[in-house]
Amino acid sequence: MAETDIPRNPRQAIGPCLFMIILYALWYNWKDPEIEAASLMGIGFVIITWLVYMGSSYSGEGSKLHGLKPIIGRMPTIKKPDGHVHFRTKMTWTLTILIVYFAMTNVAIYGLGGETIDLFSQYRAILAGASGSLMHLGIGPIVTGSIIMQLFTGAKIINLDLQNPKDKEIYQGTQKVLVIVMIIVESVPQVFGFLEPSPGIVSDVGLTWARMTIITQLAIGSYLVFLMDESVSKWGIGSGISLFIAAGVSQAIFTGTLNWEPAPGSGTEVPSGTLPMILWHIKNSSTYDLGEGGAYEAMLLAPPNPIVALLGTLVVFFIVVYVESSRIELPLAHGKVRGARGRYPIRLIYASNIPVILMAALLANVNMFALLFWSHPGMKTWPIVGHNWRLGAFDTTDGSNPVPTMGLAYYVNRLAGLQDWFLPLVSPEKYGQYMGDHEPWQLLLHILIYMGIMVIGSIIFAKFWIETTNMGPESVAKQIQGSGMQIPGFRRDPRIVEKVLERYIPTVTVFSGAMVGFLAAGADMIGTVGQSSGTGVLLTVGIMIRMYEQIGKEQMMEMHPVLRSFFGEE
How many whole angstroms separate alpha carbon 305 and alpha carbon 53? 53
pLDDT digits (tens, 9 = 90+) for 248-286: 888 889 988 998 888 776 677 888 889 999 998 888 888
Mean pLDDT of 336-346: 69
**Three-state DSSP state, 116:** strand
> What does the radius of gyration of the chain's CA atoms come to, in whole angstroms?
26
pLDDT digits (tens, 9 = 90+) for 186-216: 888 888 777 888 888 888 888 888 888 898 9
Q: Order across the sheet with 327-334: list the strands.
A: 341-347, 327-334, 485-486
Q: Which of 384-388, 441-445, 472-476 has the highest mean pLDDT?
A: 441-445
What are all long-range contacts of 551-558, with beta carbons under 8 Å and residues at least 24 apart?
551/87, 551/237, 554/87, 554/90, 554/237, 555/87, 557/84, 557/87, 558/86, 558/87
- Whether the Cβ atoms of residue 150 and residue 178 lie closer than 8 Å to each other: no
Q: What is the pLDDT of residue 22?
A: 92
pLDDT digits (tens, 9 = 90+) for 285-340: 887 777 776 778 778 877 778 888 888 888 888 888 888 888 888 877 766 656 56
How many whole angstroms separate alpha carbon 517 and alpha carbon 498? 27
Residue 197 region, left (φ>0) first, then alpha (ψ -120 to 50), else beta? beta
pLDDT of residue 570 exceeding 60, the answer is no
Q: What is the pLDDT of residue 449?
A: 94
Among 208-212, 425-429, 539-543, the least confident range: 425-429
**Three-state DSSP state, 400:** coil
538: CB partners within 8 A, 6+ apart: 316, 320, 353, 356, 516, 519, 520, 523
pLDDT of residue 229 exceeding 70, the answer is yes
DSSP state of 302: -
Q: What is the pLDDT of residue 1?
A: 47
35: CB partners within 8 A, 6+ apart: none
Give all strands (DSSP E) within 132-287, no chain letters.
195-197
Phi first, then psi, for residue 405 (nearest 5°) are -120, -20
CATH topology of domain 313-417+450-527: Preprotein translocase SecY subunit (1.10.3370)
Q: What is the pLDDT of residue 185?
A: 83
pLDDT digits (tens, 9 = 90+) for 12-24: 889 989 999 999 8
